[in-house]
Amino acid sequence: MSGRIGIFVLWLLHFLPLPWLALIGRGVGMTALAVVGKRRRIAAANLALCFPDMAPAQRARLLRQHFQCFGRALVESSIAWWGSPERLRRIVRIEGQEHVDAMKGERFIALVPHFVGIELEGIRMTMDYRGVAVYVRQRDPYVDAFLKRKRERFTGTRMVARQEGVKPILRALQEGQALQLSPDMDLGPKDAVFVPFFGVPAATVTALPRMARLMRARIVPLVIRQLEGGRGYVARFYPAWEDYPGDSVEEDTRRMNAFIEERIREMPEQYLWTHRRFKTRPPGEPSPYARR
Asked if 10 and 77 touch (Cβ cutoff 8 Å), the reply is yes
pLDDT of residue 249: 95
Q: What is the pTM of this model?
A: 0.93
Pairing of the two strands 200-205 and 192-197 = antiparallel
The H or E element that residue 223 is part of is strand 218-226
188 neighbors 79 (Cβ within 8 angstroms):
no
Angle at alpha carbon of residue 134, lines to 266 and 182, rounded to 5°: 20
Task: Give the pLDDT score at 161.
Answer: 77
Q: How far is CA 99 from the centre of its chain?
A: 20
| CB hemisphere CA count around 275 (13 angstroms) | 18
Q: What confidence score (pLDDT) does residue 157 get?
A: 73
Residues in the chain: 292
Q: Show me where the domains of the chain are located.
A: 2-270
Distance between CA atoms of residues 278 and 188, nearest Å: 10
The whole-number pLDDT of residue 126 equals 84
The pLDDT tens digits of the residues spanning 194-215 come to: 999 999 999 999 999 998 998 8
- Ranges of the chain with pLDDT below 70: 1, 155-156, 165, 175-177, 292
| pLDDT tens for each residue of 102-151 | 988 788 899 999 999 999 998 998 888 777 887 778 888 888 899 888 88
Model pLDDT, residue 171: 74
**pLDDT in the model for residue 177:** 67
Q: What is the dihedral of CA 78, 136, 257, 43, to 10 degrees?
A: 60
Gap between the Cα atoms of 200 and 211, Å rounded: 25
